[in-house]
Amino acid sequence: MSKVFRKSTVMGLIAVAALVVVAVATAARAASVQVCVLLPDTKSSVRWVQFDAPDFTKAFKAAGVTASITNALNDPQKQKAQAEACLAAGAKVVVETALDNGSAAAIEKLFTSKGGKAIDYDRQVTGGSASDYVTFDGKAVGEAQANGIIAAMKANGSYSKKPVVAELWGGQTDQNAFWFKSGNDAVLNPLFANKTLSKGPQKFVPGWLATNAAPIFAQMLVSTNNKIDAAIAANDNIAGAVIAQEKAKHLKPIPLSGQDATPQGIQYILAGWQSGTVYKYVPDETKAAAAAAIALLKGKKPVSNGSRPNGSKSEPTYALPVIWITKANYKRLFTDGFLKKSQVCIGAYAKYCK
């Protein structure tokens, strides 16, 4: 999930999110709600406002299904209130992106205890009561990140010198952070064990926020006397904080991962500060989740392509593939309509686009 932004950009996203909430609330008063979509925030990633909310709106409208689509603005109590409003309006299915496991599980129970259904969307709710889990392949995300920085270390010649690799994982309240970490571990831990790579500092970044990642990476640099040769950054937001610290200390770029294919992440890739980013085509995820919700409304079983362990049970899962984006293939983002060239190839970064 998901970003270093100008203040005006963040305020704009919040304003858009608020408009979505108001528009949906107005619709809810006019007609009963069948599906309740609960999105988490506007700061961990631009995706929740730019892609998820409008894509869900289109999918349910096309299916003739009434839906409430709200954003909790990183407030678990607000998300619970939004869920309760959905139930009062008659919603039978909740599609939830968790803010924290406890509140998310409680929201799912609100629905399932009354005969409704729940879908874990993008983030798994451990011990929850969801019927389905729609997500991108989390382990594949982590593997792509680790393999990406290994390729970058081989390219710059540092791989043969037992480079020190630091890791900044996502927020611990998000189960995805552990899926991504599992992919990092699968690739990197054997290389740490055989001394091909040197294990550097490792930390989770609360809330996935750049404001938390910056001091964490600054301390990592202090503890290693600036001897960090590569870094796993769980998303572009965290990668941006790493880069800011490198620039502040006048350090050279290092192999660095990311996730979410944000405009700034791509700019850093083009400028040589970031090695790559994991691209997750969000419209495919919203399409799959909307289809799962509609199936549950009709009393049918959602399509799945596997399962994931969830406590003592196995949770039916629809997992989507991911793509590693570098300088070599970044234009795919424009072709797919995920980003616009005008978002990336501007200002100081225009010279990198050809």
In a domain, 45, yes or no: yes
In a domain, 180, yes or no: yes
What is the pTM assigned to this prediction? 0.82
pLDDT of residue 36: 98
Claim to verify: residue 182 and residue 120 sit in the same structural domain: no
Strand partners for 71: 39
Domain with 20 in it: what CATH number?
3.40.50.2300
CA–CA gap between residue 294 and residue 320 (Å, rounded): 19
Domain of residue 230: give its range.
138-280+325-352
pLDDT of residue 7: 41
Q: What percent of the chain has pLDDT over 70?
A: 91
Closest CA to 217 of 208, 207, 228: 228
Task: List CB contacts of 295: < 8 A, sequence separation 6 or more.
Answer: 301, 302, 303
Claim to verify: residue 269 and residue 311 sit in the same structural domain: no
**pLDDT for 23 beyond 60:** no
Claim to verify: residue 106 and residue 143 sit in the same structural domain: no
208 φ/ψ sector (left φ>0, alpha ψ -120 to 50, else beta): left
Q: Report the SS3 class of residue 164.
A: strand
Claim to verify: residue 50 and residue 157 sit in the same structural domain: no
**pLDDT for 270 beyond 90:** yes
Claim to verify: residue 194 and residue 99 sit in the same structural domain: no
pLDDT of residue 288: 98
In a domain, 173, yes or no: yes
Claim to verify: residue 33 and residue 118 sit in the same structural domain: yes
Claim to verify: residue 67 and residue 155 sit in the same structural domain: no
Closest CA to 339 of 253, 252, 280: 280
CA–CA gap between residue 167 and residue 319 (Å, rounded): 25
Query: How many separate domains does the chain show?
Result: 2
What letters, b where the CB count within 10 A reaches 16 and e where it falls short, cover 161-182?
eebbbbbbbbbebbbbbbbbbe
In a domain, 1, yes or no: no
- Taking only the tens place, the pLDDT of each residue in 175-216 is 899 999 999 999 999 999 999 999 999 999 999 999 999 999
**pLDDT for 95 beyond 80:** yes
pLDDT of residue 354: 76
**pLDDT for 108 beyond 60:** yes
In a domain, 210, yes or no: yes
208's tokens = 């996935």
CA–CA gap between residue 297 and residue 316 (Å, rounded): 17
In a domain, 2, yes or no: no
Sign of CA dihedral 262, 268, 272, 273: negative
Q: For 44, what's the count of Cα atoms within 13 Å in the CB-facing half-sphere? A: 24
Claim to verify: residue 178 and residue 254 sit in the same structural domain: yes
120 within 8 A of 158, measured Cβ to Cβ: no
In a domain, 154, yes or no: yes
Claim to verify: residue 64 and residue 181 sit in the same structural domain: no
- Torsion of Cα atoms, 302 then 308 then 314 then 315, to 10°: -30
Determine which helix (DSSP H) or strand (DSSP E) holds 318, and give its type and residue range: strand 313-320
Claim to verify: residue 192 and residue 176 sit in the same structural domain: yes
**pLDDT for 261 beyond 90:** yes
Claim to verify: residue 220 and residue 342 sit in the same structural domain: yes
Claim to verify: residue 212 and residue 338 sit in the same structural domain: yes
pLDDT of residue 100: 92
200 within 8 A of 220, measured Cβ to Cβ: yes
